[in-house]
């Protein structure tokens, strides 16, 4: 999965609203990128920004490692989980 190149789902609108990323999916749901505590996830939003249809998951992980102080195992696992969640919600396609 690290070699996969995630893209915004073809029927999803993704844009910044009030400085935060919001996605409107084909099932008429709105998604923001918050952690379990309800606070906007800086890392989650950064992952969304890095998804450009050209970068692989591995390249996204590498960018996060440069920007955030986190062990590689954590960055990799969290990125894979987050991208899989967004794919399940039709925000992304792989």
For range 10-25, the mean pLDDT: 92
Whole-number pLDDT of residue 37? 73
| Mean model confidence pLDDT for the chain | 91
Query: Residue 94 has what pLDDT?
Result: 86
Task: Please identify, in words, the CATH class of the domain defined by 7-93.
Answer: mainly alpha
CA distance 4 to 37: 29
- Residues 32-60 have pLDDT tens digits of 887 667 677 888 999 999 999 999 999 99
- For 13-43, give one letter per residue: b (16+ CB within 10 A) or e: ebeeeeeebebebeeeeebebeeeeeeebeb
């Amino acid at each position: 999965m690290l070699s996969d190149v995630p893209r915004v789902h073809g029927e999803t609108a993704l844009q910044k609203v009030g400085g935060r990323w919001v996605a409107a999916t084909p099932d008429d749901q709105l998604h923001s990128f918050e952690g379990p505590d309800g606070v906007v996830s800086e890392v989650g939003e950064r992952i969304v920004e890095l998804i450009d249809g050209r970068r692989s998951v591995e390249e996204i992980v590498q960018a996060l490692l440069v920007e955030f102080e986190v062990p590689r195992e954590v960055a990799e696992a969290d990125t894979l989980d987050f991208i899989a969640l967004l794919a399940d919600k039709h925000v992304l396609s792989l």
